[in-house]
Structure 1
Amino acid sequence: MISSSKIKSLDFYRKIPRDLTEASLSGAGLSIIAALSMMFLFGMELNDYLTVSTSTSVVVDKSSDGEFLRIEFNISFPALSCEFASVDVSDVLGTNRLNITKTIHKFSIDSHLNPTGSEFHAAPIPMVIKHGDDFDEALVEGSFPLTSANFDKYANNYQILVVNFYAPWCTWSTRLRPSWEKAAKIMRERYDPELDGRILLGKVDCTDQIELCRRHHVQGYPSIRIFRKGSDVRESHGHHDHESYYGDRDTDSLVTAMEVLVAPLHMESHRLALEKNSSNTTDNAKRPAPLAGGCRIEGFVRVKKVPGNLVISAHSTSHSFDASQMNMSHVISHLSFGKKISPRVMNELRRVIPYIGGSIDRLNGRAYISHVEDANANVTIEHYLQVVKTEVITRRASREYKLVEEYEYTAHSSLVHSINIPVAKFHFELSPMQVLVTENAKSFSHFITNVCAIIGGIFTVAGILDSILHNTLRIMKKVELGKNF
């Protein structure tokens, strides 16, 4: 059996009896300094252990998220009507999709970007609109010409005023004219404006009455608007927008549509209509035009991972547009590529890359404004986006897993004058390279080793300094005693 004395002989840390030790002020001072140094260096080491360390490299993109890329956006156009706003996508492989609606939502807004109702739902528009007879020079005009001077008067004097806002140079307006005039003549014969007072068909030449058409937010020609007692604002489920006619444009279809408008109305004598409206003419003339002239477009589209374009413009298969009056100013609330990152993943992402929050969507909150009244007319606003994929790999509990695959982009924007219809164009190109951000693992054993090294090293150095200081003081005392004798 091993005796306790033999076990004690293995002790590395043999003790000196307390009676043989001596405390000193210098030793106490060094001990305090050593303890503070240990605490400071331990805190530094602990902070370094807890701080996330990453390494960044650029590698060839080997995407695992398929051949399609999601583009999500929320863009407001103060001067583009939801009636004609169209989202189109094209790419270098020949893909060309026009007027995407399945994943797109539109909301009418005013010039200050404030919503004026719920989601915009356009009336069904026939794929092919039927027109009537060809233009006849001997055609008798049946519609009433309206101007800024008499528009409010006639709009308020009749229960229904249907107005054809047209442009003489417009092909569609020219094709509509004979049917419109015939339909107007038929309605005047059936409902004498002088005696009945229920309906009147009018027309406005937007090349002559520019301000009147602008006040009523007419952007495409011809636009057939329906005014009920002075207002063409349609209220449906909280939605406010201009009431328009989108059906066929032959004489019979127009007359049928007008009859539907008149049917629920009670006949008013011409005298009663005049008496009622003459007393309110002043007040009604001051009624402001509807403020709903813009559109907020939000949603997403899926595109192939090749260079392409996302284009937002005014589009119609049966209307013409005056390029000089189109204003594609817009404010970008959100534009991003790839899948939407959840808040939980975003928090984890910021743990690994603290600066990531401000670098993903560089166009967010930016406004691009042009004015049709000055030299900025016919302005196409183009954005050139260079998209780079960033893959983040993190390590937790000695395990490695992919945190997220997100897309960042750099953007360069410009305003370009063109003779064509202005558009807002987002040209995107995906880089063949990707940025790989990897979280570097921290070894706990390495942390413990460094802590021990800090404690042992400071303790040893402090002991050496104390020994040197103690011996120096003792020698100095001996020298002083020798001098005294």
Structure 2
Amino acid sequence: MISSSKLKSVDFYRKIPRDLTEASLSGAGLSIIAALSIMFLFGMELNDYLAVSTTTSVVVDKSADGEFLRIDFNISLPALSCEFASVDVSDILGTNRLNITKTVRKFSIDPNLKSTGSEFHSGPIPHVNNHGDEIEDDYGESGEGSIKINGQNFDHYSHQHAILVVNFYAPWCYWSNRLKPSWDRAAKIIRERYDPEVDRRILLGKVDCTEEGELCKRHHIQGYPSIRIFRKGSDVRDNHGHHDHESYYGERDTESLIAAMETLVAPVPMESHKLALEDKSNGTIDTAKRPAPTTSGCRIEGFVRVKKVPGNLIISAHSGAHSFDPSQINVSHVISHFSFGKKLSPRTLSELKRLTPYLGGSYDRLAGHSYMTSHSDLNANVTIEHYLQVVKTEIISRRASQEHKLLEEYEYTAHSSLVQSIYIPVAKFHFEPAPMQVLVTEVPKSFSHFITNLCAIIGGVFTVAGILDSILHNTIRLMKKVELGKHM
């Protein structure tokens, strides 16, 4: 068994009795400076150890999400009605999808971008096969069967009749001219069956929107022809005389129009001055009618999936059975959200900002931006285009939890412009995915390296402080000897 005296012989740090040591002010000062230096250098080393270190490389895009790319968006258009607002997608491979509704939602909004109610359930606009009478029928010449309505007499007719059906048209519109003969024939026959002076259950009228611009604007007419159904009793609100009403999207030949009018008038009692009742015949919903928009604005939100090739996401006024006046279409918009790829959770965003703080603002670069044009002659027919270059960033994290080992996001640059055109204005987002991707890998710091540096800091500071203390102490002693020698 090794004795304690033999074990003490291997002590590298032999102790000097305290009685043999002498404290000095210079040594105390250097000790304080050394301690502060150690604390400062320790903080610097700890900060460097905790700091994120990454390596960046550019590689060919071989992402796991395949050949498709998801686009999420939330865009408010204060001057485009939900009735005709359409989200379309196209690309250079020939893909062309119109009026996407499955993954897109619409909400009517006021000019201040505030929602005016629940979701606007428009669905796809029903396809109209018969836009008018192809040949002369047994009804003879159409004549002027429908009543001409203007801003002065609109309220009079809507209060006098249980149901007022109005054709808002434009003389230059092809579809309006196709509808005109059958509309006048149907109006004439309905007047003969239901005398508006005696019966007062239904009346058919028409409004020329080139002459009655304010009346058409009040009822948010953006496509021609637009057939609206106004019901007496529940159709007027305290909102500048605005009427809640329905839109008719059925067939436009005389027979179909008469049948639709008969369906509307059937549940209304003779000489009724009461609220017009809803049509509940056969317990089914008439797919030719749906609520008309209550405002002229629309918020569109949702997502679409596109191929990873250059393409376009377009928001425009669209219908296969209506015409639009380009000078009256305004696609000004405010972007609340526009991003590519999977929607990132707050936790994922936090991890991304930790690893790549310089990329945080490019994930949703268009968010909060407004692109507005005034509705004047100088700013008519304005298309707003956004050119987006999209780059995928793949981040490999070493410290995140298992489900966040691999983080993916799409960054993009955006350049926008306003272009005047003779065509119907649109809001166009042209996207171009890059064939390359950025790969960011977190480089972990070695704990042993941190401890080694820490020991080097402590040992080095004490060694340097000891050398300085020895030099200072010997210098003072030498000066005292020299001074003493002069006095002897």
Instruction: Give the aligned partner of residue 376 of structure 2.
Output: 373
Once the two structures are TM-superposed, the CA of residue 337 in structure 1 deviates from its matched residue by 0.1
Q: Which residue identity does 1:412 align to in structure 2?
A: H
Q: Distance in 2 between matches of 1:186 and 1:116?
A: 38
- Cα distance per residue 1:389-433 (max 9 Å; x no partner): 111111139999743110011111111111111111100001122
Once the two structures are TM-superposed, the CA of residue 59 in structure 1 deviates from its matched residue by 2.7
Q: Find out whether 1:393 has 2:380 as its counterpart.
A: no
Match of 1:159 among 134, 146, 162: 162
Q: Distance in 2 between matches of 1:382 and 1:397?
A: 39
- SS of 1:312's equivalent? strand
| TM-score (ref. length: structure 2) | 0.89
Q: Which residue identity does 2:19 align to in structure 1?
A: D
Once the two structures are TM-superposed, the CA of residue 62 in structure 1 deviates from its matched residue by 2.3
Q: What is the number of residues matched between the two proteins?
A: 463
- Cα distance per residue 1:412-457 (max 9 Å; x no partner): 1111111111111100001122222221210100100111001000
Instruction: Give the aligned partner of residue 284 of structure 1.
Output: none
Choose 134-143 or 463-472, whichever is displaced more.
134-143
Instruction: Give the aligned partner of residue 32 of structure 1.
Output: 32
Alignment of 1:257-272 (within 5 A): 257-268=260-271
- Cα distance per residue 1:88-139 (max 9 Å; x no partner): 1111111111111111111111121111111111277543432442487943
Instruction: Give the aligned partner of residue 428 of structure 1.
Output: 431
Match of 1:334 among 315, 320, 337: 337
Could you tell me which runs of 5 or more consecutive residues in structure 1 were left unpaired when the two chains were aligned: 235-239, 274-288
Conserved 8 A contact 2:61-2:436: yes
Instruction: Give the aligned partner of residue 113 of structure 2.
Output: 113
Q: Distance in 2 between matches of 1:402 and 1:182?
A: 71
Identity among equivalent pairs (%): 77
Q: Which residue identity does 1:18 align to in structure 2?
A: R
Distance change >3 Å, CA 130–CA 345, structure 1 → 2:
same
Q: Name the Cα RMSD after superposition.
A: 2.4
Alignment of 1:7-86 (within 5 A): 7-86=7-86
- SS of 1:421's equivalent? coil
- SS of 1:321's equivalent? coil
Q: Distance in 2 between matches of 1:181 and 1:95?
A: 41
Alignment of 1:316-355 (within 5 A): 316-355=319-358
Q: Distance in 2 between matches of 1:209 and 1:362?
A: 42
Q: Distance in 1 between matches of 2:330 and 2:220?
A: 12
Distance change >3 Å, CA 384–CA 242, structure 1 → 2:
farther
Distance change >3 Å, CA 398–CA 388, structure 1 → 2:
closer
Q: Distance in 1 between matches of 2:185 and 2:402?
A: 79
Once the two structures are TM-superposed, the CA of residue 171 in structure 1 deviates from its matched residue by 1.6
| TM-score (ref. length: structure 1) | 0.90
Conserved 8 A contact 2:359-2:411: no
Q: Distance in 2 between matches of 1:399 and 1:331?
A: 38
- Cα distance per residue 1:222-266 (max 9 Å; x no partner): 1000112287579xxxxx964111111111211121122222222
Q: Distance in 2 between matches of 1:140 and 1:382?
A: 47
Once the two structures are TM-superposed, the CA of residue 211 in structure 1 deviates from its matched residue by 2.0
Once the two structures are TM-superposed, the CA of residue 19 in structure 1 deviates from its matched residue by 2.0
Q: Find out whether 1:226 has 2:233 as its counterpart.
A: no
Choose 295-304 or 57-66, whichever is displaced more.
57-66
Instruction: Give the aligned partner of residue 473 of structure 2.
Output: 470
Choose 169-178 or 131-140, whichever is displaced more.
131-140
Conserved 8 A contact 1:109-1:295: yes
- Cα distance per residue 1:266-322 (max 9 Å; x no partner): 2228xx89xxxxxxxxxxxxxxx9851111111100000000000111111111111
Could you tell me which runs of 5 or more consecutive residues in structure 2 were left unpaired when the two chains were aligned: 238-242, 275-291
Instruction: Give the aligned partner of residue 195 of structure 1.
Output: 198
Alignment of 1:279-298 (within 5 A): 292-298=295-301
Instruction: Give the aligned partner of residue 93 of structure 1.
Output: 93
Distance change >3 Å, CA 425–CA 262, structure 1 → 2:
same
- Cα distance per residue 1:190-234 (max 9 Å; x no partner): 111111222110001112222221221111111000112287579
Q: Distance in 2 between matches of 1:155 and 1:222?
A: 20
Q: Which residue identity does 1:421 align to in structure 2?
A: I
Q: Distance in 2 between matches of 1:473 and 1:294?
A: 88
Conserved 8 A contact 1:123-1:246: no
Conserved 8 A contact 1:103-1:301: yes
Conserved 8 A contact 1:220-1:321: yes
Instruction: Give the aligned partner of residue 416 of structure 1.
Output: 419
Instruction: Give the aligned partner of residue 410 of structure 2.
Output: 407
Conserved 8 A contact 1:91-1:309: yes
Instruction: Give the aligned partner of residue 286 of structure 1.
Output: none
- SS of 1:375's equivalent? helix
Conserved 8 A contact 1:81-1:294: yes
